[in-house]
A and B are shown apart, each in its own frame.
Chain A
Amino acid sequence: MEAFFEALLGGLVLGLIYVAIAVGLTIIFGTLRLVNFAHGAFYAIGAYVGLVIAQRIGVGWAFIAAPIAVALFAVLLDRLVLRQFYDKEPTAQLLVTFGIALVVEETLRLIFGATTQQYQMPDALQGSVSLGFFTYPAYRLLFAGGVILMLALVWLFIERTNYGLIVRAGIRDRVMVQLLGGNIRQASTIVFALGAAIAGLVGAAATPIYSIDPATGFAFLVPSFVVVVVGGLGSFWGAVLGGLLIGELQSLTNLAYAPASNVVIYLCMALVLLLRPQGLLGESEVIRQ
């Protein structure tokens, strides 16, 4: 029973990471129509920046530096390379972002080596919290709460700001939004930086839980794409539902029959794609992209 609840909470923590990455993918797709296979690289860069800052300066600074560094990197990448791929077919976007992911992964490997690394949280956060009949690491609970808070802020951004309006409109009709005028360019940059910063921050914050190695970015990216597809490309709540579903599925399968935990999410995605191709909460118009 204890193991079950632990797996359930573990699934929540894992699922929230997927949600955070998937929300970034989704708002970037909505605004830029860019299928970003390099999004996992943002997670990895955030994690390594967080690692270095946490070990040298302090954990608090890591949580500030990681999202800023990743957002800057993303804007640079956008300006230098990705911008010319906005209007290309999705396959070309997949290929170029896949290539960028490859370059980032190998660069990280050269700098930090291939070994798995982790940093420790301050002692205050090291302990466990008693949850009735079992205890759970305090930092994991704090992490889950923090991600939920961050997602709430992102939701407010999408629902309550003018930039968010552009995101929502862009998901429905990209061409119409482009006709509305110039501020979409600025909005694109802000949304791209925001999506990247979310991934970077989560990367830095998750490293004490799931250690980091150069391949981790890609390892988190693929399930996050599964999440986006399962939830529905372009849907915020789809990403939330999909992320929690996939996280729990993976965690509980791991408990029941560990070898199947990596394949069950693909099975889930294949079923969703065959039965409801636009995803659980997706709008059918988006699927043709």
Chain B
Amino acid sequence: MTTSTAADAAPAVSARPSLLWRDVRFTVLCALGIALFPFVLHPLGGYSTLATQIAIVSIASIGFNLLLGYAGTLSYGHAMFYGGGAYIAAILMLRAMPQHPNLWLAVGGATLGTLVMAVLVGAVTVRLYGIYFALLTLAFAQMVYFIVEQAKDWTNGDDGLQALPNALLPIGPWNLDLTTHLPAFPLGPFGDLSDLRMWYVFAGICLLLVLLLFRMLTRSQFGEVLGAIRENEQRSSLIGFNAPGYRLAAFAISGALTGFSGALRGLFDGTVPVDSLSIDRSGSFVIYTIVGGVQTLFGPVAGTAVIMWLENVLSAKTPAWRLIEGLIFVGVIVFLPRGLATVLRQQRDKNPRALFVRSLRPSTEEPDPLLKAAGEGHRGGVMSIIETFKLGKLFGHFAAVRDVDFRVDPGELRAVIGPNGAGKTTFFNLLSGTIAPSDGTINYKGRDVSRLTGTARVHQGIAKAFQTASIYPDQTVRQNCRLAALAKVQGAFALQVFRRSSRLQDVDALAERAMARLELTGVADVRAGDLSHGDKKRLDIAIALATQPQILLLDEPVAGMSKDEARKTEGLIRRLATEMTVLVIEHDMEMVMGISDSITVLHQGTVLATGTPEQIRNNPRVQEAYLGGHSQAELAG
């Protein structure tokens, strides 16, 4: 262990300066780009305030992209944060500090206010998906619109708030006036850039900081987990990540960024129209982000710039400008699903999470202290490790599982068999917590866990591999296992937006170990989606194993495998069973009879018999009920 750690540390040290260099280069290039932008925009016909407005609105688009691109959910109500931020800032200006308008306080208050709003709205929306999520966010936005429109004393109703005082920006001893003109820059044939104010400098700095923050966030541990949840939520929940928690955090950050942007825009324009809360406003963030490139850092900025420029330049020339905008939008979705950014090649990392993949650590067969811990209490405990009492599950009026009393001793390898439709998978789903029981209880190590979510049960030590392998197809095999290990090491939720997960030593060790156990080390850097069927099934087990379970639930681990693969996997499972309790559903009778310590037979949702392979083989009721039309030789296997 010591040698491998040292060997590992060496490249990390040498990589550090280059990483810092990349950060510096990124910052400098962004700053340059923002500084030069008005000089590009002016000859293209953008009016004097457009550059500042684009810089400000870009921030909202970046926030929106966190939700659409990185959390994978479409909000159709982001105007509530954009307009909300603008109204809060304006009202603070007019009511709280009419004499000494302070921009920090107004914008800070607006950001905080929209953050609170986003947490409240998010708390009720993040459990919904797709159209439901989009419609419920739209519904909240419409309610906010209504409230603002009705609260005429504060908001001036339909007319919006106008003639906001000019906010000053106190920095140290200075009181900066952002409306101060910058010196005019002559641009040769294009006249000169005369009406650029301090506002652009301020908005540009804000945009730069948001870009840096966002870049860090998407590459952090938080961003990594958020991406995993987007790619496979079922798997992410069952390796122990609190998916709704992550989505809520993303929603809150997204809302606050949008509110921040709205506040800046209101103060810059000096007016807050009620339109800033409208459906069209919400839709505009969708358009900006999609056109520019969802899931990319610069996409939303590029999209905002292109579309806002089009609106301002084209609208003067042709009434068809919105049609052109719509055609661009549809064209991008159909032909460039990742937006203009893919054309401009601004996205440097094709697969951002590949960054987290570290070099292959040589796999060793020495006993692993990390996995040893999981085997504690192995064989010889008097208490059962998992036990169910009168467990039942109704789907409508159909009892998929009923009255199941079931008990497994620590260290046992128990097979659960039964004809199709016997309720085996439902029973496993009840044990793993993917579905809640209608009746009865589940005791795990003497404690009732039947009300715990699947995510909580993973952290208690119950892990599951699925009947149809549930993996992250776009990630490498190693990254698949690292995610599971990360959930174990960091817990269900960690708002770790600064640090990368590669800093966590245990994560790599656990992941390597899990891969070695399932003999996947050789394909560690292969994209999981490209694996063979058998390797995918083994990867699914490796993912479950990387959470350091005490009970491993395997739902048909060798289904669909060739004879050789099945025997190989059988051997791997047999080895795992020496370290932990294993429950396995399987139709392969040869395997079931060969590896099980004991067998439970389910039939029509109830337990028909439990016993050693010998007892089950000779049980006449099992032969009759289970075999049906099958030959006895099949069971004898």
* Residues of chain A at the chain B interface (Cβ within 8 Å): 35, 81, 84, 89-92, 94-96, 98-100, 102-103, 105-107, 109-110, 222, 225-226, 229, 233, 259-260, 262-263, 266-267, 269-270, 273-274, 277, 287-289
Contact = CB atoms under 8 A, between A and B. Distances in A.
B588 to A, nearest CB: 25
Given A260-B146, A266-B138, A96 B334 contact: yes
A277 B132 contact: yes
B94 interface: no
Given A103-B323, A267-B143, A229 B138 contact: no
B136 A91 contact: no
B131 A270 contact: no
Contact of A103 (B132, B138, B139, B327): B327
14 contacts: A35-B130, A94-B74, A95-B290, A98-B286, A102-B325, A103-B329, A103-B330, A107-B323, A110-B320, A222-B279, A259-B146, A263-B146, A270-B136, A289-B130
Contact of A273 (B72, B136, B142, B329): B136
Nearest to A229: B135
Nearest to A268: B139
B425 to A, nearest CB: 16
B326 interface: yes
A106 B134 CA distance: 23
Given A99-B330, A106-B322, A269 B143 contact: no
Given A95-B333, A96-B330, A273-B128, 7 more contacts: A99-B329, A102-B326, A102-B329, A225-B131, A260-B146, A263-B143, A266-B139
Interface string B142-153: 110110011000
A287 B322 CA distance: 35
Contacts of A105: 326
Contacts of B283: 98, 102
Q: Which of B128, B322, B326 has the most CB of A within 10 A?
A: B326
Interface in B39-92: 68, 72-74
Nearest to A91: B74
A274 B130 contact: no
A264 B241 CA distance: 36
B136 A90 contact: no
**Which secondary structure dominates chain A's binding surface?**
helix
A266 B129 CA distance: 17
A99 B146 contact: no
A131 B616 CA distance: 77
Interface in B114-133: 124, 128-132
B319 interface: yes
A96 B333 contact: yes
Given A90-B129, A110-B320, A103 B326 contact: yes
Q: Which of A95, A103, A226 has the most CB of B within 10 A?
A: A95
B143 A266 contact: yes
Contacts of B150: 259
Which 9 A-B residue pairings sit nearest by Cβ, starting from the closest?
Answer: A90-B130, A266-B139, A106-B323, A102-B326, A263-B146, A99-B330, A103-B326, A99-B329, A106-B322
Interface of B: 68, 72-74, 124, 128-132, 134-136, 138-140, 142-143, 145-146, 149-150, 279, 283, 286, 290, 319-320, 322-323, 325-327, 329-330, 333-334, 337
A94 B139 contact: no
A226 B286 contact: no
Contacts of A269: 135-136, 139
A99 B124 contact: no
B329 A270 contact: no
A95 B72 CA distance: 13
A215 to B, nearest CB: 10
B142 A262 contact: yes
Contacts of B327: 103
Contacts of B286: 95, 98
Nearest to A283: B396
Nearest to B139: A266
B132 A287 contact: yes
Contact of B131 (A84, A90, A260, A274): A90
B330 A100 contact: yes
A262 B146 contact: yes
A29 to B, nearest CB: 9
A151 B74 CA distance: 32
Q: Which of A90, A288, A289 has the most CB of B within 10 A?
A: A90
A233 B468 CA distance: 27
Contacts of A260: 146
A37 B319 CA distance: 24
Contacts of A288: 129
Nearest to B321: A106
A259 B135 CA distance: 21
Contacts of A233: 131
B311 to A, nearest CB: 13
A94 B330 contact: no
Contacts of B149: 259
Contacts of A266: 138-140, 142-143
Contacts of B142: 262-263, 266
B369 to A, nearest CB: 41
A229 B329 CA distance: 27
Contacts of B131: 35, 90, 94, 225, 229, 233
Given A94-B74, A267-B143, A226 B290 contact: no
A266 B72 CA distance: 23
Contacts of A263: 142-143, 145-146
A106 B320 contact: yes
A78 to B, nearest CB: 14
A274 B136 CA distance: 10
A88 to B, nearest CB: 9
Contacts of A270: 124, 136, 139-140, 143
B534 to A, nearest CB: 23
Contacts of B129: 90, 288
A203 B124 CA distance: 35
A89 B150 CA distance: 38
Nearest to B330: A99
Contacts of A103: 323, 326-327, 329-330
A277 B140 CA distance: 16
Nearest to A84: B334
Nearest to A29: B131
Contacts of B136: 269-270, 273
A117 B150 CA distance: 30
A141 B350 CA distance: 60
B132 A99 contact: no
Contacts of B337: 92
A234 B333 CA distance: 27
A50 to B, nearest CB: 22
Contacts of B330: 81, 96, 99-100, 102-103
A134 B129 CA distance: 47
Contacts of A90: 129-131
A277 B334 CA distance: 31
Nearest to A103: B326
A77 to B, nearest CB: 11
B290 to A, nearest CB: 6
A262 B144 CA distance: 12
A226 B135 contact: yes
B326 A106 contact: yes
Contacts of B323: 103, 106-107, 109-110
B72 A99 contact: no
A16 to B, nearest CB: 21
Contacts of A229: 131-132, 135
Given A98-B286, A287-B132, A288-B129, A222 B326 contact: no
B143 A99 contact: no
Nearest to B331: A99
A245 to B, nearest CB: 15
B381 to A, nearest CB: 39
Nearest to A233: B131
